[in-house]
Amino acid sequence: MTKRWPVQLIRLSRALTVGLAYYSVMDIPGLTSSFVAIFVTVLLFDLMISLDRIRGGWGVCKDVVKIVIPHVAGTALTLAYGLIIGGFFAVIVHLGLPVFLGAILTVGLSYSLTERTPGRTSSSVGIVGGLAVFDKTYQLAASMEFFPEVGPVIVSTIYGTLAALVMGWAIGIVLGGVTRLFLPRGYRSVKSSAYELPLALKPVQDVLHLDEDYLVASMHVSAGSLVIGCSLDALDLRQRYEAMILRIDRQGVRVSLPAGDEELQAGDALLVCLPERRRDEIEALFIWAPAATVHPFPAEQGMKQESSE
């Protein structure tokens, strides 16, 4: 229990943060959804408790601002995109566009634009804002007084949503910062999208920008393979096959981006980046086979060779 108290504190503080965020925005006029405040406050809370340091004077404060501001600005921009798109398609519906098509385009364009926004913590904020404006205004489409009536609705929705967003930011930063003061180190949740995941936790496809003819494949070194005892430098997959071993899993030990002097052993599980057209011949290196079917390597590089009878 002694080792788990920081996690329990984080859970309790996060629950308090969510409850306070909801309570603080529930009476805001024109609010699209309390989800906006709740989601943003959790993101900022997670960001604050993940900081390496929280004490240290003005220098640390500047570092915190540098981290938080891009996320705040990106999230605000996604919300602005959604609100503008929602209002635009409400007007187009008034001019004759079918309602279902307006709703589809509102969601689709809100998502597409917000996904490209740098620093955004979630595209959901933009979608919620866009749908809220569209939902409140398209119903006025049949009214002859559409434009006089729709203006106050849009303004009220923008005000309520931005107010909830600001309130969520403030609560998340304050309670996250206070919680971090009591923690022995920064804590990161794998499920949180408030920050960029550490490299080791990212999917391979997100780390590597592969050409269309490349893929990442799992392979195993079988007993009797010619590569057993061979170093990666001697194997020289990059030069011979335009391939690279990204990871070796060996008896519960994971070696990411292994060095050239790493020697392969029977039973090794390999993660290999390779051209798709050469998969079969690369895979043949790691399984037992007669020497005639396996590409030979020079003896001076330490490669085991078998002479064919």
Determine the average pLDDT of the residues in 143-154: 63
Q: Is residue 141 domain-shared with residue 9, that is, in the same domain?
A: yes
pLDDT at 15: 92
Who's near 87: CB < 8 A, 6+ residues apart? 133, 134, 137, 150, 154
What is the overall mean pLDDT for the chain? 75
Convert the pLDDT of each residue in 184-240 to its tens digit: 888 887 777 666 666 555 655 555 556 667 888 888 888 888 888 889 888 888 888
Q: Which two tokens stand for residue 234?
A: 């001697």
Domain-embedded: residue 307: no
Specify whether the CB–CB gap between 250 and 264 falls below 8 A. Answer: no
pLDDT at 101: 84
Looking up residue 261, the CATH number of its domain turns out to be 3.30.70.1450
Q: How confident is the model at residue 12 (pLDDT cuts 50, 70, 90)?
A: very high
Using CA atoms, how far apart are residues 289 and 294, in angstroms rounded to an integer? 7
Percent over 70 (pLDDT), the chain: 67
Domain-embedded: residue 187: no
Determine the average pLDDT of the residues in 26-43: 77
pLDDT at 300: 40
Q: Is residue 23 domain-shared with residue 121, that is, in the same domain?
A: yes
Q: Cβ of 94: how many Cβ atoms within 10 Å? A: 18
Determine the straight-line distance between the first and last CA of the chain, rounded to whole angstroms. Answer: 66
pLDDT at 147: 60
Q: Is residue 126 domain-shared with residue 80, that is, in the same domain?
A: yes
Q: Is residue 168 domain-shared with residue 260, that is, in the same domain?
A: no
Please compute Rg for the chain using Cα positions: 28
Q: Is residue 249 domain-shared with residue 115, that is, in the same domain?
A: no
For 130, counting Cβ atoms within 10 Å of its Cβ (0-12 exposed, 13-18 middle, 19+ buried), the class is buried
Q: Is residue 16 domain-shared with residue 157, that is, in the same domain?
A: yes
Convert the pLDDT of each residue in 95-140 to its tens digit: 778 878 887 888 777 777 766 666 565 556 666 667 666 766 666 6
Q: Is residue 163 domain-shared with residue 118, that is, in the same domain?
A: yes
pLDDT at 19: 92
Question: Number of folded domains in the chain?
Answer: 2
Domain-embedded: residue 186: no
Using CA atoms, how far apart are residues 50 and 45, in angstroms rounded to an integer? 9
Q: Could you write out the DSSP letters of every residue in 251-278?
A: TTEEEES--TTPBP-TT-EEEEEEEGGG
pLDDT at 236: 86
Q: Is residue 228 domain-shared with residue 126, that is, in the same domain?
A: no
Domain-embedded: residue 188: no
Q: Is residue 34 domain-shared with residue 156, that is, in the same domain?
A: yes
Q: Is residue 12 domain-shared with residue 158, that is, in the same domain?
A: yes
Specify whether the CB–CB gap between 243 and 275 falls below 8 A. Answer: yes
Domain-embedded: residue 60: yes
Q: Is residue 163 domain-shared with residue 226, that is, in the same domain?
A: no
Q: Is residue 50 domain-shared with residue 106, that is, in the same domain?
A: yes
pLDDT at 273: 86
Last residue of a domain, one of 154, 181, 208: 181
Domain-embedded: residue 189: no
Domain-embedded: residue 309: no
Q: How confident is the model at residue 302 (pLDDT cuts 50, 70, 90)?
A: very low
What's the domain range around 28?
A: 5-181
E strands present in 195-301: 214-220, 244-250, 253-256, 269-275
Convert the pLDDT of each residue in 244-299 to its tens digit: 888 898 888 888 888 888 899 888 888 888 888 888 888 888 886 544 344 444 43
Last residue of a domain, one of 137, 153, 181: 181
Which among 171, 147, 149, 168 has a CA at the least distance from the CA of 33?
168
Determine the average pLDDT of the residues in 75-83: 74
Q: How confident is the model at residue 32 (pLDDT cuts 50, 70, 90)?
A: low
Domain-embedded: residue 45: yes
